Chain A
Amino acid sequence: MANAITIDSRGLNRPFRLNMLLNDSRYRSCTIQIFVLMCLMLGIAWLVDNTVRNLALLGKDFSFSFLWSTAGYDINQRLIDYDTQMTHARAALVGLLNTVVLAVLSCVLATVIGVLAGVLRLSGNSIVARLMTVYVEVFRNIPLLLWILVFGAIMSEAVPAPNAFKGENATASMILGAAAITNRGVFIPEPLFALDLGTLNLGVFEPSLNAIAAIGVVIACLLVNRALVRHADRVQSKTGIRPVTWWKTIAVLLCPPLLLLWVLGFHLGYPELRGFNFQGGLQLRNALIAMWLGLGIYTGAFIAENVRAGILAISRGQTEAASALGLRPGKTMRLVILPQALRVIVPPLISQYLNITKNTSLGLAVGYMDLRSTLGGITINQTGRELEGMLLLMLIYLALSLIISGSMNAYNARVGLKER
């Protein structure tokens, strides 16, 4: 407290009086906190009491048992097995996975666009820089919801219907004969395996063993490659000469996955026009595409500004010092500029990822079946459990956010400037 200094020694011997609770800085913070605690408890008691009375008036109870009853509604995009006979909890899980997929896809797109636009905005090329400024300002100053609706309208109004691909004088054609953009969704080739290793039964999930094998091999390759680079680092610091590793890296990273794909009989399943729509291949629904483009391009404008600020934050002296040390431009970028710029760029970047994750809840606007549309939408409407449903919805979003911001704190702790 600021006026702790003004207490003279005579005050310490004075007998305790009631007004010292407010006027004496030794007691004041205690008084305030007890007051706040009382207000808080009264407030909570009031809210709980109201809720209990309202629930009693409506004849409802507070229970999550509705999660285990049959959902009875269909979800058009599902990453795990789901049908209308499954439970509300399963439907919520399908929705959660849709939310996560959309968030990850949008984060990737936003990062790519944002980094490109941010770097190009700083380029000496005036026409490119202006174009990027226009992009950033237009997207930052118009609501995301409007952009999602615009991309939704583009996907439903401005692209050809499947029957435009038909017949002799088709007005639309497939891209490279493999992908088709139609107003019923985007069709792309799907990966198929001739040899099926079966599925792994985990209770809730039943992931295919092929996918697990592929992921496992890729992770193993990355680990081996890291060991290779570490070994090269050690040799270099001991002898001063760095062993040549590039062909080893390529071999380690490419050969095992290719071998696995060959063993499993990997091939692509192309979409084909049959009847009124495309069959086969992977169908990305319009809602997903509209959300993906909307979130990715909108957030990309914000990331572009973060990237630009991060690069501008590194003073010219750093580049000059690096070249004075004799580092080549590539190494200057990799060893001097990027580590410092990333320290500025990454925290706001991750908070943009956080925003993307939360903004996936706008999927409602174009009918994307995310967590909010399943658990927070149809389930609540069918069961009438607004209180429990919204509570669960908020907790799940909160958990997602805390995971992302936890990763940000871990990163900050690792790369943050070590100060005294």
Chain B
Amino acid sequence: MNERNPAFVRGEMLPAREPPAGEMGLLKLLRKSLFNNWLSSILTVISLIVLVWIVRSTSPWLFDSVWNAHSLSECRQMLGVAEGACWAVIRDRWTQLLFGFYPPEQYWRPVLAFALMLLALSPVLFPPVPRRLLWFSAVFPGLAYWLIWGGTLWLPVTAYAGIAVGAVSLRLTARLGAGVGAGLAFIGALTWWFFASEPVTTMLGQLLPLSLAPVTSREVGGFLLSIVIGVTGISFSLPLGIVLALGRRSKMPLVKTLSVVFIEFIRGVPLITLLFTASLLLNYFLPPGTNFDLILRVIIMVTLFATAYMAEVIRGGLAALPRGQYEAAEALGLDYWKAQRLVIMPQALKISIPGIVNSFIGLFKDTTLVVFIGLLDPIALSNSIRATTNWQGIYWELFVFIGALFFIFCFGMSRYSMHLERRLRTDHR
């Protein structure tokens, strides 16, 4: 051995070693996100226990379920000792939960109206859809009314004709100035609705009878009712809320006071008292002998309620807008409405999207409160199903079904609002 030679010198790099077992793969994930300190470890253990408990207590109920039975007692016989769900009640009564007591041979009408609603909503919600469809969106409310309540087609047509009358008179009187023209157009439309529309409807109905079997409001129920109230309330509360928010920020003291009083009053009382007002008190405030549809009254009250909340949300958006935007719009020489339409509102509404959608979701959930004034929403129907001899004492299956349907709609709305926020985001983050 030659001791003078230097010790061994390595010619090439060593291959990298594996990291320690705790720093890789699943173990690292576990350590970092589940057991990184004692508090976190305790939380993890508790959540695992909760999860196991939830799964263990619901899985026999979910998996040993019965789908084919005609009554709860039959269900229990089939189940024996097993603790299964009795989904047969949904199978038996799902049409009732969706449509209330709507005549079964006419179910195609609300279904068609719902499909058309999706079509009418598409140009509003998604920009790639051709703009021309917006005309259909404008026509849809009348069409949906006709499909759901039936009667003659000429009723919604003449109602729309009133708007046309207004538009024509606006065109004709444009030379007199915007304010006078708008006033005359409004008077023209009112004249049409109050004096001309009824005879015209009767006349057209005799000439060309286009009508569907009429359905009374008492028969409209279930999710159909929730969607009718919710969608109408949503589509009216946004524009009215904008007007009210502008009123609250107005420099005219009277307009401002009125808006504040309205908003604070509506926000200060529970919706249920307003609904009772609609069902019990409205007869006091209207001329003796007038009586109009309970669903319409409820829609008006729900809309007013949602409008006050919407106004506050939009006011928040308006307040968040930098003052420079208002001043820039004035410097460009835009008048009040043009400044609002072109500069202020697009930005203020964008800021308040989350709040607006939250208040839509709140409105849709609040439609369940109509059960207290005797309308047949899904919860009222679940009570009436439970009251029948076949399904006496059934709770959870109905609750799960109703809850799931509401969840789908509300969760969908909140996801859409997130998508919209991302789409409209203009900052460079």
| B329 adjacent to A358 (CB under 8 Å) | no
| B361 adjacent to A141 (CB under 8 Å) | yes
Instruction: Give Cα A358–Cα B272 distance, bound, in whole angstroms.
Output: 9
| B36 adjacent to A124 (CB under 8 Å) | yes
| A146 adjacent to B399 (CB under 8 Å) | yes
Tell me the B379-429 residues at the A interface (CB within 8 Å).
Answer: 379, 393, 395-396, 399, 402-403, 406-407, 410-411, 414
Given the interface contacts A23-B177, A138-B407, A390-B281, does A398 sit within 8 Å of B269 by beta carbon?
A: yes
> In terms of DSSP, what is the predominant structure of the interface of chain A?
helix
Min CB distance, B292 to chain A, in Å?
14
| A401 adjacent to B411 (CB under 8 Å) | no
| A401 adjacent to B406 (CB under 8 Å) | no
> In terms of DSSP, what is the predominant structure of the interface of chain B?
helix
Residue of B34, B254, B330, B334 near A127 (CB, 8 A) is: B34
Given the interface contacts A128-B43, A372-B270, A386-B280, does A3 sit within 8 Å of B333 by beta carbon?
A: yes
| B399 adjacent to A150 (CB under 8 Å) | yes
Instruction: Give Cα A127–Cα B52 distance, bound, in whole angstroms.
Output: 13
A53 at the interface (CB under 8 A from B): yes
Given the interface contacts A36-B254, A125-B34, A145-B371, does A47 sit within 8 Å of B329 by beta carbon?
A: no
A142 at the interface (CB under 8 A from B): yes
Tell me the A64-95 residues at the B interface (CB within 8 Å).
Answer: none
Instruction: Give Cα A281–Cα B407 distance, bound, in whole angstroms.
Output: 40
Residue of B180, B284, B336, B407 near A142 (CB, 8 A) is: B407
Contacts of A6 in B (CB 8 A): 333
| A390 adjacent to B339 (CB under 8 Å) | no
Instruction: Give Cα A53–Cα B286 distance, bound, in whole angstroms.
Output: 10
When C-beta atoms are compared, the residue in chain A nearest to B279 turns out to be A386
Contacts of A270 in B (CB 8 A): none
Contacts of A393 in B (CB 8 A): 273
User: Which of B90-98, B107-115, B165-173, B362-370 lies at the interface with chain A?
Assistant: B362-370
Instruction: Give Cα A143–Cα B361 distance, bound, in whole angstroms.
Output: 9
Tell me the B198-233 residues at the A interface (CB within 8 Å).
Answer: none
- The interface size bin for chain A is 35 or more
When C-beta atoms are compared, the residue in chain A nearest to B414 turns out to be A141
| A146 adjacent to B43 (CB under 8 Å) | no
When C-beta atoms are compared, the residue in chain A nearest to B272 turns out to be A361
Instruction: Give Cα A3–Cα B285 distance, bound, in whole angstroms.
Output: 41
Residue of B51, B179, B403 near A131 (CB, 8 A) is: B51
When C-beta atoms are compared, the residue in chain B nearest to A150 turns out to be B399
A153 at the interface (CB under 8 A from B): yes
| B43 adjacent to A143 (CB under 8 Å) | no
When C-beta atoms are compared, the residue in chain A nearest to B251 turns out to be A29
When C-beta atoms are compared, the residue in chain A nearest to B286 turns out to be A50
| A401 adjacent to B365 (CB under 8 Å) | no
| A149 adjacent to B269 (CB under 8 Å) | no
Q: Mark A30-61, 1 if CB is under 8 A from B, else 0.
A: 00110011001000000100110111010000
Instruction: Give Cα A253–Cα B272 distance, bound, in whole angstroms.
Output: 44
Contacts of B44 in A (CB 8 A): 125, 127-128
Instruction: Give Cα A29–Cα B258 distance, bound, in whole angstroms.
Output: 15
| A153 adjacent to B396 (CB under 8 Å) | yes
| B396 adjacent to A146 (CB under 8 Å) | no
| A390 adjacent to B285 (CB under 8 Å) | no
A362 at the interface (CB under 8 A from B): yes
| A397 adjacent to B268 (CB under 8 Å) | yes
B267 at the interface (CB under 8 A from A): yes
Contacts of B368 in A (CB 8 A): 143, 145-146
A415 at the interface (CB under 8 A from B): no
Residue of B34, B253, B276 near A126 (CB, 8 A) is: B34
B16 at the interface (CB under 8 A from A): no
A244 at the interface (CB under 8 A from B): no
B288 at the interface (CB under 8 A from A): yes
| A125 adjacent to B406 (CB under 8 Å) | no
Q: Mark B18-62, 1 if CB is under 8 A from A, else 0.
A: 000000000000001110100010011001101100000000000
| B285 adjacent to A142 (CB under 8 Å) | no
| B366 adjacent to A54 (CB under 8 Å) | no
| B270 adjacent to A141 (CB under 8 Å) | no
| A362 adjacent to B33 (CB under 8 Å) | no
Contacts of A402 in B (CB 8 A): 264, 268
| B411 adjacent to A397 (CB under 8 Å) | no
Contacts of B43 in A (CB 8 A): 120, 123, 125, 128
| A51 adjacent to B269 (CB under 8 Å) | no
Given the interface contacts A54-B288, A124-B40, does A141 sit within 8 Å of B406 by beta carbon?
A: yes
| B285 adjacent to A47 (CB under 8 Å) | yes
Residue of B48, B177, B371 near A19 (CB, 8 A) is: B177
| B255 adjacent to A358 (CB under 8 Å) | no
Given the interface contacts A142-B410, A143-B368, A145-B371, does A22 sit within 8 Å of B335 by beta carbon?
A: no
Instruction: Give Cα A37–Cα B258 distance, bound, in whole angstroms.
Output: 10
When C-beta atoms are compared, the residue in chain A nearest to B403 turns out to be A142
Residue of B34, B269, B365 near A358 (CB, 8 A) is: B269
Contacts of B330 in A (CB 8 A): 2, 5
Tell me the A329-383 residues at the B interface (CB within 8 Å).
Answer: 358-359, 361-362, 364-365, 372, 376, 380
| A387 adjacent to B40 (CB under 8 Å) | no
| B395 adjacent to A36 (CB under 8 Å) | no
Contacts of A120 in B (CB 8 A): 43
Min CB distance, B75 to chain A, in Å?
16
A161 at the interface (CB under 8 A from B): no
Contacts of B264 in A (CB 8 A): 402
Instruction: Give Cα A386–Cα B47 distance, bound, in whole angstroms.
Output: 51
Instruction: Give Cα A54–Cα B281 distance, bound, in whole angstroms.
Output: 11
Min CB distance, B255 to chain A, in Å?
6
B265 at the interface (CB under 8 A from A): yes
A394 at the interface (CB under 8 A from B): yes
Residue of A3, A53, A127 near B47 (CB, 8 A) is: A127
| A372 adjacent to B47 (CB under 8 Å) | no
| A144 adjacent to B365 (CB under 8 Å) | yes
Min CB distance, B95 to chain A, in Å?
20
| A142 adjacent to B365 (CB under 8 Å) | yes
Contacts of B276 in A (CB 8 A): 376, 390
When C-beta atoms are compared, the residue in chain A nearest to B331 turns out to be A5
Min CB distance, B89 to chain A, in Å?
14
Instruction: Give Cα A372–Cα B274 distance, bound, in whole angstroms.
Output: 12
Residue of B177, B265, B336 near A22 (CB, 8 A) is: B177
The 9 A-B residue pairs with the shortest CB-CB distance, nearest first, are: A401-B268, A141-B410, A143-B365, A398-B268, A358-B270, A361-B270, A33-B254, A153-B395, A143-B368
Selected A-B contacts with CB under 8 Å, 5 pairs: A29-B252, A33-B255, A120-B43, A128-B43, A146-B399
| Supplied contacts A131-B50, A142-B365, 18 more A-B pairs, CB within 8 Å | A2-B329, A19-B177, A124-B32, A125-B40, A128-B44, A142-B403, A157-B393, A358-B269, A359-B270, A365-B371, A372-B270, A376-B276, A387-B281, A390-B281, A397-B269, A398-B265, A398-B268, A398-B269
A residues bordering B, Cβ < 8 Å? 1-3, 5-6, 19, 22-23, 29, 32-33, 36-37, 40, 47, 50-51, 53-55, 57, 120, 123-128, 131, 137-138, 140-146, 149-150, 153, 157, 358-359, 361-362, 364-365, 372, 376, 380, 386-387, 390, 393-394, 397-398, 401-402, 405
